[in-house]
Amino acid sequence: MFDKKTIRDIDLQGKRVLVRVDFNVPIKNGLVGDDTRIRAALPTLEYLIGHQAILILCSHLGRPDGSPDVKYSLKPVAEHLSQLLSKPVGFADDCIGAITTSKVAALKPGDILVLENTRFHAGETKNDADMARQLAALADIFVNDAFGSAHRAHASTEGVAHFLPAVAGFLMEKEIQYLGDVISAPEKPFVAILGGAKVSDKIGVIRNLSAKADVILIGGGMANTFFKAEGYPVGESLVEDEALDQAREFLKIGKTQIRLPVDVKIADKFAEDAAWKLMPTGPIPNGWMILDIGPETVIAYAKVIKKAKTVIWNGPMGVFEFPEFAKGTFGVAQAIANSQATSIIGGGDSVAAIQQSGLAGKISHISTGGGASLEMLEGLSLPGVTILLDK
Ligand code: ADP
Ligand code: MG
């Protein structure tokens, strides 16, 4: 159960509301690229506007080194937001300080002001109490809707919530409902699909999900380490010798649960134009590397997915950046799209893959947070959520 107060639980009328959003979007030539994260905040913003709040929005963008850098300005984001909402959106050149305070003082109910990048101050990532206090001084209420930043205890995500009544926005609520509630009490059968580059990145995820999932389908680079743990030579494939013991342990505990690919697509180099061939799982010839799961595996995994009531997916099944090696990932994406299950996808590259596949509309929930979604899948609580008021 999502047990935090949300914007539904607090009086907003005429109140100055500081909203932490995740507007960390790609900027090219002064324009917003993919605006998924901005759109994801709109339900919260529209609700606040509708309830006559005064909106003050803050976010980080990129990784400036604690001082202003025009490359990472949120100004283009403010302009883009103005188009999305079809209404004027103000902009303050700093997120704290005298000019910002006077801009905030001039706002009326329904107005929106976007503050400059919080990471233009070194205090942001240090969760500096003084910076948090200055942010809090701008408003009456703090709303955290920045799921993608909630795994970090920074001044604008966690610190500020010590000084104001702090509640969740709708995006935050939805993310936690899917990545927390659905996964802790899934409708069964519950199938987890795990791939991506490395086992070591996902040990916590595998451990947590193996306690809950009926079946775990493994693919991607991490499968190689499992193959090696089973005793196959993997040729030139990406493999983590440091994680072999861990993989053996998982195979022992999850004997009936963990499925490995039954066939693989191997390549003679790590490149888009590599020569390739399919082979059943087994010793990989010298000079070759696994870059994707094979079609028999897609069929086998699709059968499992078809029976599922809940599916969680993190990590591509192959090097989907190269079209020839994207087929396993897209095949699994198609199987999820065809199924009736509640489907959840988390992880930066996994989300990019589902968007490329054109099947995003068929997924129940696509997370806006990469690192934050992984921490949720590990079963961790996020500092930016923990600090919010309990229901
Ligand atoms: P996410 O961001 O969704 O959590 P990861 O970052 O763990 O996913 O993994 C994504 C990366 O894994 C992709 O860049 C993909 O190319 C790579 N990958 C998948 N399969 C393989 C493989 N067999 N060999 C090498 N890299 C792989
Ligand atoms: Mg990634």
Walk me through the domains of the chain, giving residue ranges and CATH numbers: 7-171 (3.40.50.1260), 179-377 (3.40.50.1260)
* pLDDT of 5: 98
Q: Ligand 1 in contact with 238 (CB < 6 A)?
A: yes
Phi, psi torsion values for 127, nearest 5 degrees: 50, 45
Ligand lying closest to the C-alpha of residue 199: 1
Q: What is the pLDDT of residues 319-371, one digit of tens each?
A: 999 999 999 999 999 999 999 999 999 999 999 999 999 999 999 999 999 99
346 lines ligand 1 (CB under 6 A): no
Question: What was the pLDDT predicted at 366?
Answer: 96
Answer yes or no: is pLDDT of 116 > 90.
yes
C-beta of 294 in contact with ligand 1 (< 6 A): no
pLDDT-based confidence at residue 1 (cuts at 50, 70, 90): confident
**What's residue 87's pLDDT?**
97
Q: Using H for helix, E for strand and C for coil, what is the string for 324-366? A: HHCHHHHHHHHHHHHCCCEEEECCHHHHHHHHHHCCHHHCCEE
367 pocket-lining for ligand 1 (C-beta < 6 Å): no
**Mean pLDDT value across residues 3-27:** 97
Is pLDDT above 90 for 125?
yes
The active-site residue out of 198, 259, 265, 327 is: 198
Q: Under a CB-based contact definition with an 8 Å cutoff, are residues 194 and 222 in contact? A: yes
Mean pLDDT in the chain?
96
Q: With cut-offs at 50, 70 and 90, classify the pLDDT of residue 8.
A: very high
| Range 50-55 average pLDDT | 98
348 is catalytic: yes
- Count helices and strands in the chain by DSSP H and E runs: 14, 17
CA 40 / ligand 1 centre spacing (Å): 25
Distances in whole angstroms, Cα of residue 106 to Cα of each of 102, 231, 241, 328: 6, 69, 60, 55
Q: How far is CA 330 from the centre of its chain?
A: 19
Q: What is the average pLDDT across 225-237? A: 96
Q: What are the DSSP E strand ranges found in 65-189? A: 90-92, 112-115, 141-144, 166-168
Active-site annotation holds for 371: yes
What's the confidence (pLDDT) of residue 54? 98
**How far, in Å, CA of 222 to CA of 220, rounded?**
5
Scored b (16 or more CB within 10 A) or e, 353-386 reads bbebbebbeebebbbbbbbbbbbbbbbeebbbbe
Confidence (pLDDT) at 294: 98
248: annotated active-site residue:
no
The stretch 273-298 carries a mean pLDDT of: 98
Percentage, residues of the chain above pLDDT 90: 95
Q: Which pLDDT band holds residue 164 (cuts at 50, 70, 90)?
A: very high
pLDDT range class, residue 256, cuts 50, 70, 90 = confident
| Residue 189: predicted pLDDT | 97
